Amino acid sequence: MQTTLGQYNETQSQDAFALQNSKLLKVQLNQVTVQAKMGAMVAYQGQVTFEHAGSGGVGRFLKKAMTGEGTQLMKITGTGEVFLADLAQDIHLIYLENDFVTCNGSNVLAFDAGIDWDIKIERGAGAMAGGFTNMSLQGTGWVAIISNGPPVLLNVAQAQTFVDPQAAITWSSGVTTSFKTDFKMKDLIGKGSGEQVQLAFAGQGWVLVQPSEGTVKGALGATGGGGATSNSPLGGILGQ
């Protein structure tokens, strides 16, 4: 048989997390136990078990119930390999070394089960936003995030950085956030620009911005959104 399918052969990488391609993640379960977005499995080989990961404690359960943040997670164990994806969105890998990142919950695809997560509430935008919530991922291990299209990685230390809350999907531990508002009377009568609230970033680090302002779950009363090592596939400025 002659075919052009050879270009799609399975990657032979033995890394715990490896990109099969830009939209498909391969996880070696003999190296890690993984928590992943519910329904993200597209294929697996070997002996693999899937179970609901739960909220991980009463505190996180209450935060999830109150805010709606934190994607539904499944725990994946076994001795084989599993392939994960979500609506053919772009996948990006971060390796944390006793560090943390903050992510929009809907943009978290999977992470090493040894990494601790919690729900972080960003307040300060006033009644217009009601507060934004995100997931904090902390520890040592791999994190896979997804973006709706190819993102841009902005170095926060180089200039004042303001991002639409629905487009800011991940930022590093050295970054602090606040809110910038552009509230005018015309906004009250339906003639606003739709850009009344932006997330302001400062500090030493980076923010990853997707080319989409799609609806993001997790705001209190409104929709909104939301280091890695230098060898992270995210690029060169991560080590700065």
| 87 or 191, which is more confident | 87
Phi then psi dihedrals of residue 5, to 5 deg? -80, -10
- Residue 202 sits at the vertex; the CA angle it makes with 164 and 63, to the nearest 5 degrees, is 65
**What is the predicted pLDDT for the residue at 190?**
54
Tokens, residue 161? 């950085």
Extended strands (E) in 57-188: 73-78, 81-84, 90-103, 108-112, 116-122, 132-147, 152-155, 161-163, 168-172, 175-181
**What is the predicted pLDDT for the residue at 52?**
86
Whether pTM > 0.85 for this model: the answer is no
Task: Please state, in angstroms and rounded to a whole number, the distance separating the CA atoms of residues 50 and 54.
Answer: 12
Give the burial class of 59: count Cβ atoms within 10 A of its Cβ; 0-12 exposed, 13-18 middle, 19 or more buried.
exposed
Q: What's the mean pLDDT when you consider all of the chain?
A: 79
Q: Could you tell me which of 163, 137, 147, 166 has the C-alpha nearest to residue 227?
A: 137
Tokens, residue 76? 């994946």
Mean pLDDT of 184-205: 69
| 217 or 6, which is more confident | 6
* Whether 108 contacts 137, CB under 8 Å: yes
Grouping H, G, I as helix, E, B as strand and the rest as coil, residue 58 is helix
**What is the predicted pLDDT for the residue at 169?**
94
Task: Please state, in angstroms and rounded to a whole number, the distance separating the CA atoms of residues 60 and 58.
Answer: 6
**What is the predicted pLDDT for the residue at 171?**
95
Is pLDDT above 50 for 67?
no
Residues 201-219 pLDDT 10s? 999 999 999 998 754 443 3
Q: How many other C-beta atoms are found inside a 10 Å radius of the C-beta of residue 169? A: 28
**What is the predicted pLDDT for the residue at 188?**
55
Task: Please state, in angstroms and rounded to a whole number, the distance separating the CA atoms of residues 93 and 238.
Answer: 12
Query: Which range (43-47, 102-106, 219-223) has the least confidence?
Result: 219-223
**What is the predicted pLDDT for the residue at 47?**
94
Domains delineated in the chain: 13-239 (3.60.160.10)
